[in-house]
Structure 1
Amino acid sequence: MNAERSVSSTYAVDPTLFTPVQFHARALLGYSVNGICTWFIKHLGVSIAQQVSEHCQSMVVVGCEINYIRHLDFFEVGEFTATLEKVRVRQSNSLLEFFHVFTANGDEFVRVVTRWKIVRLEGDAALSAASGNMCESLLKRFKRAELDPLPLHRILPLKVAEIETAGQLYVQGSYSQTLHRHQCEVADQWAFLELTALVAQMRERVVMSASSVEYPMSEILGMPIQQIAMELSCPVFLFEEMLLETYVYLVEAQWVFLHRIYNLDRAKALAATVIESF
């Protein structure tokens, strides 16, 4: 039986990684991305930058899930470990799926799954890209067990339908925001981990709004999130304008926030859908 090729790194706990409620989702995604970069260097012998410069391909995030398994308190541990457990090449070699686990004192406290679409680069200074497949020179470096021919079943649209059908809508809100450079990655488009901060900001604005006063929603500000699920469908680039819409549902006694982000500079294209479950 072939062992999975993994990478692990241990980090010190510091105050910036936590809110008073839980471990920052944005930090978890940052460590997950770093694990992916490390995995490529260790097991495939290529950095992300070399993928671009030598193989004319890159990766863009199309989805992820964060599942908080148990509460981890800032004062509980001094260190934590981030492990990229396994990697799968999916969908006719056009998509990569990464499975991450975070542990402290040997116990799991978060699991993260990230999905990245392969894009072929045109080679101009703007890094123009089109959907593609893993180039053969890199594909042959994966183990057979890491190549999964089964199609990827999108779960988030089903969750959205369930929420909108079975849930009770309490309140909604929207606002516009410009994407600034501190929210961008190297291609001057939004860094996907910033979505967790964008929707958290929107959640708090809606909870604190006048329209939610009649509902017992203020308790949410002190509750830890149990799960975050997101899909990205359109990029947002530097200084483009976004419209963020948030809908607050009660689904079987559980508060659920459904967020949709639109790119107003691209004919109001749906850029991302995010679900926060408490």
Structure 2
Amino acid sequence: MADLPPLRDVIARHGLSASKALGQNFLFDEQLLDRIAAIPGDLAGKQVLEVGPGPGGLTRALLRAGARVTAIEMDTRCLPALAELGEAFPGQLTVVQGDALRIDHAELMGGEPFAVLSNLPYNVGTALFVRWLGGEAWPPLWTSLTLMFQQEVAQRIVAQPGGSVYGRLAVLAQWRSVAKLAMKVHRSAFTPPPKVMSAIVHVEPAAMPEGVSARLLERLTEAAFGQRRKMLRQSLKGVPGAVEGLESLGIDPQRRAETVTVEEFVMLARVLGNGG
């Protein structure tokens, strides 16, 4: 086990400060970081993808857990601190400098299964999440997603129908995955403290419903929740066959998107995929 200096000392020595432009907030509490790293279960010897490690707070917790970590970091200021971590845990850490939104993660991980654990930069978190959940190929190479979000976003991911926070993110996260709120993290745990509370969402792939196109489901949810205050017969009229599909399933087209269950969206996507 490497004997590492406190994170605060590392940050001070490298003259690092959180970049607002990059959506950075640093976590120093090592016990909290170890708890986050433990959420997916035993990581010893397993591949982990981390996006936005910053100075390496969560990274060191993952390395302590025995994971083989590939970290994507855009901020070149953080690279020297990460290099020191790599030296402390020989052969366990690979750091890639670049934009996680522009990198093929499956290719980066060598086409092998991997877990994703990340204190996601706020400005790219949702875009990355939607990308990981998308695509026709299922199950994905990732075995689980353990991700820090603003609490408001986390609640939207695990939301149930009928409330104002239930929307496209909930359907995309739940139609072929199991999403749960794993832990809440107080804003005071971060440096600098963000204005909002945070929470960690844990997602595991589930069986993909047969006869359903991910692209079609995404199109349906985008249309339905893009005009969520309107009735489905209005919000979905731009999707060919959608209103007729609702009627064939006995779903009242006067309902609004926030009342439609994940299962009902799946049924509608299946009907449209089969030609109505």
- Quick one: higher RCO (CA 8 Å, sep 6+), 1 or 2? 1
TM-score > 0.5 by shorter chain = no
Provide the TM-score with structure 2 as the length reference. 0.27
- Structure number with the higher helix fraction is 2
Provide the TM-score with structure 1 as the length reference. 0.27
- Structure number with the higher strand fraction is 1
